[in-house]
Chains A and B, each alone.
Chain A
């Protein structure tokens, strides 16, 4: 009896000491950022902002730092940050934004260099972050300025059930995509008795249309590896968006409109995702978000009915020496698979967190810890499986651990399909990188976006759209300096 009493007392004492220890540890951590407030800006969302807002109270409880998430519309985010930081207002301490913009922010000396912090941060497990995001999205000029929170690649999603019923295969080329969209357009895809759409692509102006066209164009423009680049000729910095190959990409882009919703040119990705997950579209082109939104049983009508594939390719590509669209051969398309050139487009590059260089030291510390906390596997491995977070997989462990996805509601086959498409994109030696040179916002969001919008609205024809893009891009290049832009472009894609 005494022995039992003693054992019980020992157990109780040990438990009490453990709790006290934990409390002590917690209070020690709490002291670390006690009284610090971090103003962190991102876009309105609800994606991206949601996980930050949801996890901020837990972080505050653990460290004492108050995280104040400020949201602005996506189209305003770049300029809001720039204005706040460049004018010395510095009301924003950190931000979650596009790695593309890093080139402008770093050039102006606005971003904190995180290289040393990341090197010392074992909890971040930086080696688990896939090399593309670790070495490209997070870094500029060999230094780390950002921490990846989201992995972004554009892929094609299709309705597996209807493809099988119609005897169609997953699209391998853009011609296959068009053929499938045409075959399924007007069919009832969700059983409501109404005809649905063959293809849904976000084509709204001032939204995401300029990424969509580059996802299509990549297959026709870039065939000799990532360092060849898909936007400019690395010899002259002349735009690649006015030639036979880009014309073919525009043909595909315009053709998909025939099989889309009537108001497709006023739809952004929020709209097309809603249409696809409610079963109204046979095909769509999007980032990884569809994979997790499709398994959300509260909103999705296509649970376990969705297939994902690497961006379709082309059997013809641009020969930069002749300026013509020519059939693939081993010289022209060294990375072609079955004679098809794929150029998966790393559109946007994934939402990433960075810190204002002018923020007070204590705030920088708290901001870093919060961004790192968000990226650490304990948090991110859960967040990437939830559709509403907008976070897509970017860690090696997230690709390897199927259990994560099965637990989230995906079937094993769907998980393999989804992760396989992302991995295939990541592993491609011909991955097309997004534009990351000074004034990339003007090249893409103004010149390219406007020309596309006018083309879709039938204000101009294909040739005029290509001329407008070339003229606008050349004007910006000349303004900033051709040599400077060429050097920046080559550095951004690893060209020699």
Chain B
């Protein structure tokens, strides 16, 4: 015979509030390590730090740090030197603007029957993303026009969009290759994975040595091609490409690993059925494999996008952001401002980065990732 004991008052309390008790530690950790620093850095972005007896003082300066970056003496540094658009660039921008307008109009027409608030919110997000996209496109075009030079914002976008695209294509290609029953598959898996385990600073120093055309370990090869006098670090695009090669070498394995896992979990019977129906390799990939791995692909690209916006080690070690500020990312821009006591300017750059990264990644999720994942 068993007796049922009534729970104590403490027990009842714990039972009643179990959900809150379990969630609060996580909330407090999030507040401590994420929300409070965000608020503190927002305060810094609107202030000027001065050294004063006893430590330092923070003076509220409003939006002055942002004004300096967007319209003042730091405009060249952040946005770059803008030149007038040529006919081709103007046409390209107008075409993009037209497409964006059509997209927004289609959204409005299709959602006219929805709840007004949902429509307004959806429209607001799309208009914001569209404006940012068009502004960034204009910036990219004008800073790359003759007489223009990209600033740290455009350079970051080049690293993010160019780098992540190349890494995705390479990672997917390698994953498709290794997913096949080829000899030495396991060996290649390990080898392709290795760069991911090396610290970015190590990679940067490694590439600095490898890219040294005068006295690096690959110097004989460069010299055989007549490149001993080629100074890649003195050429803006060559320097950016070297940074992107290093970044690609490090991050392609991440893409490879996740996409390989997705490929290996796709149903084999569908692929076999497609082969039996006479589909070619491209058709199998386009209509069977891609739909199966698209949700994973969208997720892995999103993770890389977020990470790529924070690139700092490679340009810092390889070129110190030079030549000029051709290879300087937004994070490196913020870091350089921070280490010269311009904490307000550094925080302002950080907030601009946060804004661009959030809008870009949210747009990616809303416009591409959701479609890839399907309804």
Contacts and interface: CB of A to CB of B under 8 A. Distances in A.
B324 A108 contact: no
A446 B323 contact: no
A442 B342 contact: yes
A206 interface: yes
Contacts of B338: 79
Contact of B53 (A108, A207, A438): A108
Interface residues of A, number: 44
Contacts of B319: 205, 266
A179 to B, nearest CB: 23
B56 A108 contact: yes
B321 A205 contact: yes
B320 A262 contact: no
Contacts of A108: 51-56
B311 to A, nearest CB: 17
B73 A206 contact: no
Interface string A98-110: 0000001101111
A471 B51 contact: no
Contact of A475 (B51, B54, B73, B322): B73
B247 interface: no
Most buried by A among B50, B322, B325, B336: B322
Contacts of B323: 205, 265-266, 453, 456-457, 459
Interface string A41-61: 000000000000000000000
Contacts of B339: 75-76, 78-79
Interface string B64-87: 000010001100110001000000
B325 A468 contact: no
B149 interface: yes
Contacts of B325: 205, 450, 453-454
Contacts of A204: 320, 322
A348 to B, nearest CB: 16
A37 interface: no
B230 interface: yes
Given A205-B323, A450-B325, A78 B340 contact: yes
A226 interface: no
Nearest to B239: A266
Contacts of B53: 107-109
B52 A107 contact: yes
Contacts of B213: 263
Contacts of A442: 340-342
Contact of B231 (A79, A82, A262, A454): A262
Nearest to B339: A79
B125 interface: no
B233 A446 contact: no
Interface string B228-268: 01111110100000000000000000000000000000000
Majority secondary structure of chain A interface residues (helix, strand, loop or mixed): helix
A87 interface: yes
Interface in B91-122: none
Contacts of B321: 205-206, 453
Interface in B295-344: 319-326, 336-342
A472 interface: yes
B73 A266 contact: no
Nearest to B232: A263
B173 interface: no
B56 A86 contact: yes
Contacts of A472: 73
A270 interface: no
B48 interface: yes
Nearest to B212: A263
Contacts of A439: 341
Contacts of B291: none
A17 B322 CA distance: 66
Given A78-B340, A475-B68, A459 B149 contact: yes
Nearest to B215: A274
Contacts of A27: none
Interface string B262-289: 0000000000000000000000000000
A266 B322 contact: yes
B267 to A, nearest CB: 52
A206 B315 CA distance: 12
B340 A265 contact: no
A262 B230 contact: yes
Interface in A87-137: 87-88, 104-105, 107-110
A84 to B, nearest CB: 12
Interface in A393-445: 438-439, 441-442, 445
A104 B76 contact: no
B322 A457 contact: yes
Interface string A333-355: 00000000000000000000000
Interface string A204-217: 11110000000000
28 contacts: A76-B339, A78-B341, A87-B55, A107-B53, A108-B51, A108-B52, A205-B322, A205-B323, A206-B322, A263-B213, A263-B214, A265-B231, A265-B233, A265-B234, A265-B322, A266-B231, A266-B234, A446-B336, A446-B340, A450-B324, A450-B325, A453-B322, A457-B324, A459-B324, A459-B326, A468-B76, A475-B72, A479-B48
Given A78-B339, A459-B236, 19 more contacts: A76-B339, A79-B340, A82-B51, A82-B341, A87-B55, A107-B52, A108-B52, A204-B320, A205-B323, A261-B214, A263-B214, A265-B233, A265-B323, A266-B323, A441-B341, A442-B341, A453-B325, A456-B324, A457-B326
Interface of A: 75-76, 78-79, 82, 86-88, 104-105, 107-110, 204-207, 261-266, 438-439, 441-442, 445-447, 450, 453-454, 456-457, 459-460, 468, 471-472, 475, 479-480
